[in-house]
Chains A and B, each alone.
Chain A
Amino acid sequence: MFTFVPRDKVSKNWVIVGPLVSIFFTIFFGLLIFTFLGYDPLETLYQVFMSPFSRIDRISDIFVKACPLIIIGCGLMLCFRANIWNIGAEGQFIMGALLAGSFALLFPDVETKFLLLIMLVIGFIGGALWAFIPAILKTKLNVNEILVSLMLVYVAMLFIDFIVRGPLRDPMSFGFPLTKPYPEGALINKIPFPGIGFLGQLHYGILIILLLIPLSWIFINKTLGGFKITVLGSAPKASKFAGFKENSITTTVLLLSGGLAGVAGVVEVSANMGQLQPEVSFGYGFTAIIVAFLGRLNPVGIFFAGITIATVKLGADNAQMAMGIPKVVTGLFEGILLFFLLTGETLQKYQIKWNKVK
């Protein structure tokens, strides 16, 4: 049998070889499954991995799909680095969207130029408030944040359901659970390209990723705050010794990650829906956890992880349209991909040592 021995440093080679090996194994199992089920395996793989890149507007849609995942993922990265397990981003996303959306619907007359900006701020506050609950319970009473943040997801889901079906329901919607459409100023527009027009759903919200990734990279690698977070996570004793305040770091990372999830919620609703509905998130908050890990808790990695996950999701739809492969098959495949990608991460951190079988 074999055991894993930790590497002194994350292996540079494995940073590249790891994902390749993971993808190799995924493809191998994928080929087996697709062949077994009677689908053309190569065509299926093409649809899942390559077809999303086959047209420029499809590529834009990858970014649109990845956008909320990457924004939330960057926030979660801070938490996970500090060894704080916020798994309630889904709820924080919803609360951000709900609070900002309520503002836009209740005060549609606010100067249009600023409305969106105000909404982003409110969304940040909404998400951060929702994350503040596990933060205060954790720091004051030592309550486990994994479970509190998870419970709050359900509360948020039920809360938005209640608001959209009750107080904020559009009276003109025949009883259907939809709010009024957002005022013009609350919408995030699609980006027009001269000569081409719009590319899929590509909207200005994408700019947030472009801003966020370098910013969070600098924050983590070049600032004292980022350093404190990393030290708290990887060497809590050293952190204590250095006099870093654990509680304030914990609160900060939770607020930041909750806030970013809230911002993602605002962007998603303003760019893609234009009104509130009972379901605004579709599991982004949970998928982003996977994205953060696949991205090995660094912003560039999270960017690529977000793109990978989005690609496979889009590819699954394409495979359905082109070959009639049901979602369950591609879902299965997605699960396998995740397992192997996560294993690939282990290979970067550990060496395999073969033992003789006794």
Chain B
Amino acid sequence: MDALILTIIATSIPLLLAAIGELISEKSGVLNLGVEGMMLSGAVGALGAVLWLGNPYFGILAGGLSGIFMASIFSIFTINFMTNQVATGLGLTIFATGLTGLAGAPLVGKTIPSLPKIEIFLLSDIPMIGNILFKQDLIAYLSIAIIIFATYFLKYTKPGIVLRAVGDDHHSAHSIGYSVKKIRWFATCFGGMCAGIGGAYIPLVLTPHWSEGMTAGRGWIALALVVFASWIPWRIIVGALIFGGITIAQLVGQARGWPIPSQILSMMPYLATIIALTMISGRMSKNKSIVPASLGKPFVDSQ
């Protein structure tokens, strides 16, 4: 049982990281559909850095930086050149798939040491829980730290409130004197960093090698997760575990011979997302939509 729960956690972490990053960026009004591309670049960056520098911890750094690099390309075009976010995000994934394929070519066939597990003093000795929660790798701890930070940041800090204001009504935020563009740049790059680290988790922990397109659609799931979580950070943990849990449950079910078609099981998270979205929207529509009101809309600062 332990082993299965650990597997669920491991498979959820890339989703969780990419989703929390996208959440922050969407809160500021930027819909970045290039998550898949940013994750890929994080994966290739991390693997390259570890091969070059030898230490897996550089992989985390490089993954984050690669994600930021992709996010800043997205920012230049959508925020400064005001291109359409949906189209540019799709373009970013095409671009990143090409670039990572190219950059990854020399890395093909190489393998790296995995990120070590860190046992937290005393806590790791608690039966069951200790093994599951306190013998994880740095990225796992980091991802929880980021969720806590995001919750606190959005709710209680001034920059966080400004960021939300920018996402809800960029014109008002601008007229009060905040720089909409700077804030969106920051939020998008933060999103890129998280997606990059999420992508980096794949070669650093899950399967230490590089192959083209190895994220295999996880960036798109992250987008679904943000919605599932209804833009509330801690719910991403729940959502990611449900997605991860269903993925693993479907595999376990097969190994044990449960008679449910795997495609039907795989559909569940997406249907659940739609239902969750419907429920929150139904509840919220009377007051105010929970979706950032300026989501996906370019901001023209001279208006």
Contacts and interface: CB of A to CB of B under 8 A. Distances in A.
Of B77, B281, B291, B295, which is in contact with the most chain A CB atoms at under 10 Å from its CB? Answer: B281
A150 B33 CA distance: 11
Interface size class of B (residues with CB under 8 A): 35 or more
B90 A329 contact: no
A331 B94 contact: yes
Nearest to B82: A346
Nearest to A166: B261
B102 A329 contact: yes
Interface stretch (A43-51, A58-66, A139-147): A139-147
Q: How large, as a class, is the contact surface on chain A? A: 35 or more
A339 B98 contact: no
Contacts of A159: 263, 267
Q: Which interface residue of B31, B33, B90, B220 has the most chain A CB atoms within 10 A?
A: B90
Contacts of B99: 328, 332, 335
A339 B300 contact: no
A339 to B, nearest CB: 5
A293 B303 CA distance: 23
Contacts of B224: 147, 150-151, 154
Interface string B69-103: 00001000100011110111011101111110110
Nearest to B84: A293
A147 B33 CA distance: 11
A333 B302 contact: no
Contacts of A289: 86-87, 90
B140 interface: no
Contact of B303 (A6, A155, A161, A339): A6
A300 interface: no
Nearest to A142: B285
Interface in B104-133: 105
Given A159-B267, A342-B91, A345-B83, A4 B302 contact: yes
Nearest to B281: A143
Contacts of A87: 33, 86
Interface string A334-352: 1110110011011000100
By DSSP majority rule, is chain A's interface helix, strand, loop, or mixed? helix
A146 B289 CA distance: 14
Contacts of B88: 338-339, 342
A327 B91 CA distance: 16
B7 interface: no
Contacts of B270: 151-152, 154-155
A293 B278 CA distance: 28
A12 B14 CA distance: 47
B169 interface: no
B65 interface: no
Contact of A335 (B96, B263, B282): B96
Nearest to B102: A328
A6 B82 CA distance: 11
A342 B87 contact: yes
A218 interface: no
A302 to B, nearest CB: 13
B90 A290 contact: yes
Contact of A147 (B83, B227, B263): B227
Contacts of B105: 326, 328
B291 A3 contact: no
Contact of A336 (B81, B95, B101, B271): B95
Nearest to B272: A151
A342 B264 contact: no
Contacts of A350: 82, 300
27 contacts: A4-B82, A137-B274, A137-B277, A137-B278, A143-B281, A143-B282, A144-B227, A144-B277, A146-B31, A146-B86, A151-B270, A155-B270, A155-B271, A161-B263, A165-B263, A287-B90, A289-B87, A289-B90, A290-B91, A328-B105, A330-B98, A338-B87, A338-B90, A342-B83, A346-B81, A346-B83, A350-B300
